[in-house]
Amino acid sequence: MSLEPHEKSVLVTGAAHRLGAAIARAFGEAGWHVVLHYRASGAAAKGLARALPSAETVQCDLADGDAAVAMVEALAARLPDWRVLVNNASTFAEDRFDALDPLVNAEAMAVNAVTPVRMAQAFLAQARSKAGRRVIQLTDQKLRNPNPDFFSYTMSKHAADAAAVMLGMSCRGADRVYRLAPGAILPSHDQTDAEAEISHRMNPLARRTGADEIANAALFLATAPLASGQALYIDSGQHLLSQPRDVLYLARSGDAGAG
C-alpha cells in the first residue's frame, strides 16, 4: 500500500476485537491511516480495516519477539509518517499466587511485557515522523489496585508499566512514551454479560467505563502536550480502591461491598 507523505499512521496491536478494535476505529475516524495487527483473527481485522477510511492489516504472533521486531522494521521502512504505536494486545489467562503456571507466566511475560518493549525500541529507533513518535502502552488499573488473581497477567502488566516508565525517561526531542490503564470494561475470562454488568460497576462512580473512553484517551495521548512517562487511568476510579480479589470473583461471590 502506497501512502501520501503527509498521511499519519498508527499501529494498534490486538486490533481485531475488544479494546483494540475500539482504538483502531477511533483513530480511523479521526483521519489516521490505521495498521491493525492481529494474531489469529484475520477475518475480523480485515473486516474492520475495510470499514475504515484508510487501513491495512498485519499478522504476527507476539509470543515471537523476533517476528514482532521484524514487523515493526518492515512498517518503519515504508510508512512515511508513522507517529504512534499502541501496544494493546495482551494475553489474560488464569493462574494463582500459590500455583504459578510456568507456561502461562512465560506467555504473559512475552506477549504483555517483553515483546511490547522490543517493539517500542524498534519503533523509536526506526519509525519516521517529523511530528515525533509516541508509544502508548496499555497497562491495567491493577497496578494501583492489585490482587492475587490472574497472577502472571498482573505480574506482566507491572513489568510493562515499569519498562514504559524507563523508556519514557530515555525519550528525546518530540518522542514520548505514555501509559494507559483501563479498568474493568468488557467481559473477560469466563464471565457472562450479567456478571460483567455487576462487577464492572464496582468502582467509586458505580458506572461501567466504556471502550470508547479508552479509545478517546488513546487518541488524546497521540497528540497531547504531556510529559513523557505519564499515565492515564480510565476506570471510573477503580484504581483508588483496595479490592482483595478480581471483581469477576467478587461479583460471583456476592461480595459487592468489596468494591
CATH code, domain with 202: 3.40.50.720
- Give a yes or no: residue 227 inside a domain: yes
Calpha distance 122→157 (Å, rounded):
20
- Give a yes or no: residue 155 inside a domain: yes
- Give a yes or no: residue 176 inside a domain: yes
Domain interval for residue 113 = 9-258
Q: How far is CA 140 from the centre of its chain?
A: 9
Q: In what order do the strands lie in the sheet with 82-87?
A: 55-59, 33-38, 9-12, 82-87, 134-138, 176-182, 231-234
pTM of the model: 0.94
Per-residue pLDDT of the chain (259 residues; tens, 9 = 90+): 667 666 899 999 999 999 999 999 999 999 999 999 999 999 999 999 999 999 999 999 999 999 999 999 999 999 999 999 999 999 999 998 998 999 999 999 999 999 999 999 999 999 999 999 999 999 999 999 999 999 999 999 999 999 999 999 999 999 999 999 999 998 877 788 888 999 999 999 999 999 999 999 999 999 999 999 999 999 999 999 999 999 988 988 876 555 5
Q: What is the pLDDT of residue 259?
A: 52
Say how many domains are in the chain: 1
- Give a yes or no: residue 3 inside a domain: no
- Give a yes or no: residue 165 inside a domain: yes
Question: Could you tell me if 215 and 22 are in contact, meaning their C-beta atoms sit under 8 angstroms apart?
Answer: yes
Interval 108-153: pLDDT, tens = 999 999 999 999 999 999 999 999 999 999 999 999 999 999 999 9
- Give a yes or no: residue 234 inside a domain: yes
- Give a yes or no: residue 15 inside a domain: yes
- Give a yes or no: residue 2 inside a domain: no
CB-based contacts of 70: which residues, under 8 Å, 6+ apart? none
